[in-house]
Each structure stands twice: as structure tokens, then as C-alpha cells.
Amino acid sequence: MLKNVFIFKPAGNAAVDSVACFDIFWMCWKLNGIAVNSNKWYITLYDIAVNIFITIFYPIHLTVGLFMVPTLADVFKNLAINITDVACSTKHYLFRYKLPKIRELQRLLKQLDERVLAPNEREYFDKKIRLGVRNIMLLFCASYAADALASAIDVLSKNERELMYPAWFPFDWSANRFTYYGAVFYQIFGVSLQIVQNLAHDTFAPVGLCVISGQVRLLAMRVSKVGYDESKSLAQNEQELNDCIEDHKKLLRIFDLMQDVFWYTQLVQFSSVGLNICLTVVFLLLFVDNLFGYVYYTVYFISMAIELLPACYYGSNMQEEFQNLPYAIFKCNWIPQRRGFQQNLRIFTELSQKQLTPTAGGIINIHLTSFVATCKMAYSLYTMLMNI
């Protein structure tokens, strides 16, 4: 299922498939008991159990534990992971509500894939879109795997019995080794499933923006060649232009769907990452006292930054591709064409000049400048906390 994502090979004559770029997204949802093509009772039971014991109870047991910790160090330690878990559960339900729109988005992408026929367009898809998605997936998977491994090592390296994160349980987890190992197992299993949920939430925006920016470039490549094939009649050239206009309409619809899907989730993402970067730096500099702690919180800090950077990069890239589209339209051989062709070309050029910028909640542009602004905000919060 994930072969086209993680193993990059030139596709040759293989059909272009943008929908396959989202395979890991759906795989993560299936691991959480959602979007499984089965009506078996145990799938429903598993979904309910994950919702109750992981998505809902996991952030609750960390939040309640936040008020039970004795030291300021434990407060900072618990607050970082608590913000992450609350944000993860919030994004989970926001995304779950939007899954039908994601399927509609994929249906439109499949229609655009059918228009990718020229060898140079297939080559661009393989070397830019598919390879870009592969790099995003590898980056996120490596980051989250390193985070989980560093967390486990941090717990196992301690001399005394301690939980992975300070938390509340409805039983005395320190009473004996069985309750202790049960509590630790729950936290490890719970954070693993939360990582799977986060992988689905956090990869959707960068993968989607990567695919959209690539499809805009492919449209630019097609429209710039219209009118240069001498074997085609003027009517056929006009039909080619009209097909490109329809492709542009589909891209605008895909952008609207994408914007609707991550409208609130990316706002939650920016807010939680900014706070977490700040808290992680404070805890790393003031409270960590062992090597494995330094390793874990350094990895955690990098993971936080990685959650935003790919989406901001491809958001900037998508905006640039849409801005370059009018120039590609003007490159077509429009001078000898019929009057209807030229009228449609003018309308198409005007429509393509519309500025499209993905935003989070209509407040924050998903752009590299926003990534820098988030880092600055985190630093400002850090300096404020250090002066208190």
C-alpha cells in the first residue's frame, strides 16, 4: 500500500496517482479504527475503546496530573506533553468530521491525474511530487520514531520508579510493580497511538499542499504548449484551452476543500507548536539533569519544529506556482487562434491572477514567513518566562 510513498523509483509508463500520496494518511486512520472498509462489531468496539481510553482519557489523565505534581520542573515537564495531547485530540475530532471532504478532494485529484499524459509531465510528477511526498513522510516518521525512542530510553534510564509523564490514575500506580508496569505500559501504548494520530493530522497539510502545487505546475506545463501542435486544428486548440480552464476550476475547488479541512486544525497546530517550543526550551535549560533527558527534549524540540516547516514550505511553493500560472498561459501560441480562443484566454488569465494563500483559521498564513514568526513568538514567550 505504501510502496509508492516510501520506495521511490521512476514510474516509467505507470499511471500517475496523486491519491496514493495519501496512503499513509488513511493507514493511520485505520490503525485508530476509522475508515476501515468493514462493518464488523469488533472494529466499532475498537474505535470506541480508542476514543475513550486514548483520545479522551489520555489528555485528561495528564491534565489532572498537572495539578498534582509537587515541583515546578514537573509542571513544565507535564505541560509540554499535555499541550501536545490536548491539541492532538482536538485535531483528531476536527479531522474526523472532515473525512468525507478529503475523499471528494481525492476524487478531483484523480480526474486531474488522467490529464497527465506527456512524458515530461510524468517525469515531473515522479521527481517532484512523488519524491517530495516521500521525503515528507520519511521526515515525519523519523522524527516521531526518534521522539518515541528517546522517551522510552528516558524512562528506562531512571533509577527510581517513575512514570513516563507525571499523571493521574484512578489507582495507586506505585503500590507494586504490577500497577507500575501497567501504568507505564498504558502511557507508552497511549502515546504511540497519539503519535499515529498526529502523523495523520500533521502530514495531511504538507502532503496536500505539495500535491496541489505540483498539479498547478503540471497545468502550467500543459497550457503553455497549447497551439504549438501543427497537426491539430484551431477548434482542437480551443478545446485544449477549455480543458485547461476546467482543470483550473478543479484546482480551485481542491484548494477550497483543502482550506476547509485544515482551517481549524492548522490553527491548533501553530498555537500548540509555538507554546511547546517555548516550554521545551525552558525545561531543557533549567530542569534537565541527565544525558537521556537532554537527548529526549532536544529530539522533542526538533519534532515540534518539523511539524510546521514542511507545511509552511509547500504553502509558499503553492502560492508561487499559482502566481506563475498567468505567465504560462501567455506562453501558449494564442496569436493565430480564433477569436473565441483569445476571449477565453483573456478570461482565464484574469481568473488565474487571483491570489491564493492557504491560511490557518483565516488568521495565520501557511507560509515560511509564518514559520519564522512562530519561532519568534516562542522566543518572546521564553524570554518573558525567564524574567518572571
In angstroms, the Cα distances linking 50 to 30, 130, 169, 171 are 12, 32, 17, 20
Task: Write the pLDDT tens digit of every residue in 52-85.
Answer: 999 999 999 999 888 888 777 778 777 888 888 9
What residues contact 92, with CB distance under 8 A and at least 6 apart?
A: 32, 55, 197, 201
How many whole angstroms separate alpha carbon 132 and alpha carbon 178?
A: 46
How many whole angstroms separate alpha carbon 201 and alpha carbon 25?
A: 8
- Estimate the crossing angle of helix 23-31 against helix 177-223, to 10 degrees: 160
Contact yes or no for 234/163 (Cβ under 8 A): no
Query: Nearest CA to 53 among 188, 185, 172, 186?
Result: 186
Residue ranges of the domains in the chain?
15-387
**Whole-model pTM over 0.85:** yes
Helix, strand, coil tally for the chain in percent (to 5):
75, 0, 25
Distance of CA 202 to the CA centre of its chain: 3
CB atoms within 10 A of CB 54: 24
> What is the residue-level pLDDT of the chain in tens, covering all 388 positions?
555 455 445 545 667 899 999 988 899 988 888 866 666 778 889 889 999 999 999 999 999 888 888 777 778 777 888 888 999 999 999 999 899 999 999 999 999 999 998 999 999 999 999 999 999 999 888 888 877 777 777 666 666 777 888 888 988 888 888 898 899 889 888 988 998 999 998 999 999 999 999 999 999 999 999 999 888 999 999 999 999 999 999 999 999 999 999 999 999 998 888 888 888 877 777 777 777 777 777 777 887 888 889 999 999 999 999 999 999 999 999 999 999 999 999 999 999 998 888 999 888 899 999 888 877 777 777 777 667 6
In single-letter form, the type of residue at position 238 comes to E
